[in-house]
Structure 1
């Protein structure tokens, strides 16, 4: 596994010796069917060119009116998706604690930087609620100013679905100062999260939120979060709304806080399987159930995160070979994994001539 920026293998995080994305590497093609999956499989130039041709064949975009319909009815399609699958479609993501140790136990240390204190955050929120009227009763509302106001380590997952990231975090991370926020575009998904017997409102706050609507307020002040998690969710947004959504999230991070992402990479199997009549725009498609998906390059994500004032810690491509041993089939998956940190010091304006 290499970092596209410098070609170097990433260093272990916080002393963890386990290699990124697993330890199973295919060195002899004759052994491909010995296991169900192989890690970090390199593509040949021929394979890359074939994937590019396949995408170009199915790149004719749908008419504008159909694209508008999918945009306007996005909430309906995602509610239907979770209404049909409920919690049967997903598995808990226990790999999170290897790839993103910031989420795991004994990792909940301050991210540092000149972050606003919790007291300042509470006071700011109260003032906003009261339109600037400072009263003694407002001070008494400190504890309830926003969910998790007294927490010392705050994690937000955007696009939480039915909780397959949130609940492993709550079960695994034993930090008493931890508070987890989770939101989803689908009210059906949030209802499923809240109805889960492991949902604990004293450690978690689930809410409905449209990531692409930058005018919609989050239930936390700016510079209050230590970690933001995006797992296969940014790809569901219209490409024109991605940058503003990322910038909005970046404003919620404390200086030194990190944004963690894992999402679909360019030429993933899912992209190559799309038939004609499913393309919305370049590398952006609609599935049969009406939900949409975009396929990223590392460079696209890097540019968006940097534009939002974040600096790279990690930007990797995971090329994984999955195997159906029964049918003797091989399937190539491509995912991008990123970790970007908010600058601990404000960016200095460029000097004038």
Structure 2
């Protein structure tokens, strides 16, 4: 596998977002139909309005609008919630209840969103096409949403979006494959972790450790939600021979990469990380691009896996 694509992965994604900014991806209006866990205590009328106004978008010919970004840590500014839930600067948290960082002791009750009663993390948030629909639809005062991405450009676009509210959301740059960099939350503190078209951007031999780390952040009973590319999706079949880096792992023309999963592979990843299957299904459908008169066979895998209530894992 060419080393350049791994070493410079963040450069390819930064360039992608500099070119497309907010114009490539569409807000994921199907979120609350497929993943009602993202709206645990919503204002039901607001949710119904959202669902009635927005239909599932058509996926255009070629690269999907649902392609997810990779993740990379470059510069990180951590914040803690003050008594009003807004930000105060502080260093990262994650592994233990108490850690020391350059003479400053950080406790588990001092992290962004520490006063929240329901915490969601999206890994690979891109420009916020999942995060902002959640914030706009779920008015639960106890909700706090974390989001991170490989691309510093993408995170900057999230933070400068008019809908970004630091009292309800914390966006940060992070590489989910970086074992030496902590997430800004303690173990066992998250209710939901979302992975939407992002795990496929990771080198296959790094996927298991990434999922293991994320699993440790879930509360007992917490859920990991995934939607990603399935084996023999149209996008896989259209790659040319020279674009294959390894089995079922490809590089696009812009240097970004993508893997195509089977249900069994994902089940192994999640169960090895100590999670229990709630859902693992293949979503197969024909989509029509009327403008180009093309019929496209799409295959996506959708999974929900839960942290056991009495877990010895992590």
Structure-1-length-normalised TM-score: 0.71
C-alpha change, 1:241 and 1:107, in structure 2 (3 Å) is farther
**Aligned counterpart, 2:242:** 277
Aligned equivalent of 1:166? 131
**Which ranges of structure 2 fall in alignment gaps of 5 or more residues?**
44-92
Q: Counting strand residues as a fraction of each chain, which structure ranks higher?
A: 2
Structure 2 residue aligned with 1:187: 152
Shift of 1:328: 4.0
1:78 aligns with 2:43: no
Tell me the distance in 1 between the aligned counterparts of 2:210 and 2:22: 27
Deviation digits for residues 258-294 of structure 1 (CA, Å, limit 9, x no counterpart): 0000000000000001012100000000000000000
> Helix, strand or coil for the counterpart of 2:270?
helix
2:206 alignment partner in structure 1: 241
SS in 1 for 2:242: coil
* TM-score (norm: length of structure 2): 0.79
Q: Distance in 1 between matches of 2:104 and 2:5?
A: 43
Q: 2:128 aligned with 1:157, yes or no?
A: no
Aligned partner of 1:267 in structure 2 is: 232
Q: Which runs of 5+ in 1 are unaligned?
A: 1-63, 109-121, 349-353
Question: Could you say if the C-alpha distance between residues 158 and 326 of structure 1 is closer, same or farther in structure 2, counting changes exceeding 3 Å?
Answer: closer
**Compared CA separation, residues 91 and 340, structure 1 to 2 (3 A):** same
Identify which of 215, 233, 239 aligns with 1:250: 215
Contact 2:108-2:186 at 8 Å conserved across structures: no
Q: Secondary structure at the match of 1:254?
A: strand
Residues 43-122 of structure 1 correspond to what in structure 2 (within 5 A)? 64=1, 67-104=2-39, 106=41
Give 2:142's aligned residue.
177
Is the contact made by 1:105 and 1:172 (CA closer than 8 Å) also made in structure 2?
Answer: no
| Corresponding residue for residue 210 of structure 1 | 175
Determine which of 207, 212, 225 is the counterpart of 2:190: 225
- How big is each residue's C-alpha offset from its partner over 1:111-161, in whole Å with a ceiling of 9 and x where there is no partner? xxxxxxxxxxx9996730368998xxx7xx886x21000000000000000
Query: Which consecutive segments of 4 or more residues in structure 1 shift more than 4 A?
Result: 122-126, 130-134
- Does residue 128 of structure 1 match 2:93? no
Does 1:322 pair with 2:287?
Answer: yes
SS at match of 1:182: strand
Say which SS state the counterpart of residue 112 (structure 2) adopts.
coil
Q: Once superposed, what is the RMSD of the aligned Cα atoms?
A: 2.3
Evaluate the alpha carbon distance shift between residue 107 and residue 339 of structure 1 in structure 2; reply closer, same or farther with a 3 A threshold: farther
Q: Is the 8 A contact 1:279 1:286 kept in 2?
A: yes
Q: 1:327 to 1:205 in 2, by over 3 A?
A: closer
Q: CA 1:325–1:142 in structure 2 vs 1: closer, same or farther (change >3 Å)?
A: closer
Q: Determine which of 277, 292, 297 is the counterpart of 2:257.
A: 292
SS of equivalent to 1:148? coil
Q: Which has the higher helix share?
A: 1
Mapped to 2, the partners of 1:336 and 1:211 lie a distance apart of: 20
Q: Which has the higher contact order (CA 8 A, sep 6+)?
A: 1
Q: For residues 222 and 131 of structure 1, do their structure 2 counterparts lie closer, same or farther at Cα, with a shift above 3 Å needed? A: farther
Whole-angstrom CA distance in 1 between matches of 2:292 and 2:103: 66
Greater C-alpha Rg: 1
